[in-house]
């Protein structure tokens, strides 16, 4: 076995401690405490109690006995026996109390820090989602788009579908915003249902939605876009429904690609809406 591990075991059980393991190290000695935070609490309650140290060391020695040099094993067994009868000196008792206090303070500080970080993460996640549809908003999409490319890996191109609801304002004007909101929620669910599991659906703002389709080439992207556009008019809330238009673009994620998809979208709307147009068609 690792000579250093054997040395640690012997040192830990020696009446005159020559070194002190950190809480992160101590946790690896405890078979019942698998995480670092609990390990610190374990260390704080353990302090320099050689009886507990002996129990934990013996747990591992029993399982590694066949792999340990017999002379080392005999020395560790002897230390285990001694540690169960050897009382702490006054200096060691004082050190144990001081260590316990320090560890308790560390635990409190780290618990406070963990709670703060958790609250910030929840707040950040909430700020990245549209509260009405629970889709990602622009901020959430930007965070997704900025995920770094793994070293040595070239990420595939991304198909973009930019969708705008035709004459959605009429719904709010005639039936009120509550009906409009319910219609947006159902359309958002339709977009989720009509896309692939790996696709990203965002509420781009107002009555606009963006769907990012990693790895989709133009033919597949066109099929997805047409499917989404056909499904939207079938959604009705209190007798109100809308058509939609879409602009498509295939390429690497960029501001230019979004601009091209936006141009294709408004070209589709200029044709009367209820259709999806690839940006590449604008070049002809």
pLDDT by residue, tens only, the chain of 284 residues: 444 444 444 444 444 333 333 333 443 444 444 444 444 444 444 445 566 667 777 877 788 788 888 888 888 888 788 777 777 667 666 666 666 676 677 677 777 777 766 665 665 666 788 999 999 898 888 888 876 555 555 567 899 999 999 989 999 899 999 999 999 999 999 999 999 988 999 999 889 999 999 889 999 999 999 999 999 999 999 999 999 999 999 988 888 889 999 999 999 999 998 899 999 988 65
Q: How far apart are CA 89 and CA 87, in angstroms?
A: 6
* Percent of the chain topping pLDDT 70: 67
243 in Cβ contact with 224 (< 8 Å): no
What CA–CA distance (Å, rounded) separates 102 from 44?
8
Angle, vertex CA 193, rays to CA 208 and CA 196, nearest 5: 95
Domain 138-283 matching CATH 3.90.1510.10: the answer reads: no
Strand order in the sheet with 200-205: 200-205, 208-214, 158-166, 243-251, 276-278
Joined together, the tokens standing for residue 227 give 């499917």
Helices 50-64 & 70-83 angle (0-180, nearest 10) = 150
Nearest to 50 by CA among 90, 21, 79, 91: 79
Distance CA 208, CA 211 (A): 10
Q: In terms of DSSP bridges, do strands 276-278 and 200-205 run parallel, antiparallel, or are they unpaired?
A: unpaired
Domain limits of the chain? Answer: 3-124, 138-283
Query: Is 121 considered catalytic here?
Result: no
What pLDDT is recorded for position 68?
A: 80
Q: Of these residues, 207, 226, 238, 262, which one is catalytic?
A: 207
Q: Tokens representing 191?
A: 């977009």
Q: Max CA-CA distance within the chain?
A: 91
């Amino acid at each position: 076995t690792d000579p250093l591990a054997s040395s640690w075991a012997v040192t830990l059980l020696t009446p005159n401690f020559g070194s002190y393991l950190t809480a992160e190290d101590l946790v690896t000695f405890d078979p019942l405490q698998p995480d670092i935070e609990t390990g610190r609490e374990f260390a704080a309650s353990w302090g320099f109690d050689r009886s507990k140290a002996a129990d934990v060391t013996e747990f591992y020695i029993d399982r590694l006995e066949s792999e340990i040099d017999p002379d080392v094993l005999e020395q560790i067994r002897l230390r285990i026996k001694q540690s169960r009868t050897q009382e702490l000196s006054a200096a060691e008792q004082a050190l144990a109390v001081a260590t316990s206090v320090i560890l308790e303070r560390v635990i409190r500080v780290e618990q406070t820090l963990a709670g703060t970080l958790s609250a910030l993460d929840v707040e950040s996640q909430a700020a990245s989602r549209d509260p009405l549809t629970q889709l990602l908003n622009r901020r959430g999409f930007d965070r997704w788009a900025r995920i770094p490319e793994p070293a040595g890996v070239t990420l595939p191109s991304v198909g973009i579908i930019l969708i705008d609801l035709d004459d959605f304002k009429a719904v709010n004007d005639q039936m009120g915003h509550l009906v409009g909101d319910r219609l947006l929620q159902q359309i958002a669910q339709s977009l989720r249902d009509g896309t692939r599991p790996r696709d990203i659906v965002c509420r781009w703002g107002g009555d606009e939605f963006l769907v990012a389709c990693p790895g989709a080439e133009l033919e597949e992207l066109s099929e997805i876009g047409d499917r989404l556009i056909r499904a939207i008019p079938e959604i009705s809330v209190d007798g109100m429904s809308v058509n939609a238009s879409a602009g498509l673009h295939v390429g690497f994620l960029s501001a230019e690609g979004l601009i091209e998809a936006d141009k294709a979208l408004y070209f589709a709307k200029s044709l009367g809406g209820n259709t999806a147009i690839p940006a590449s068609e604008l070049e002809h």
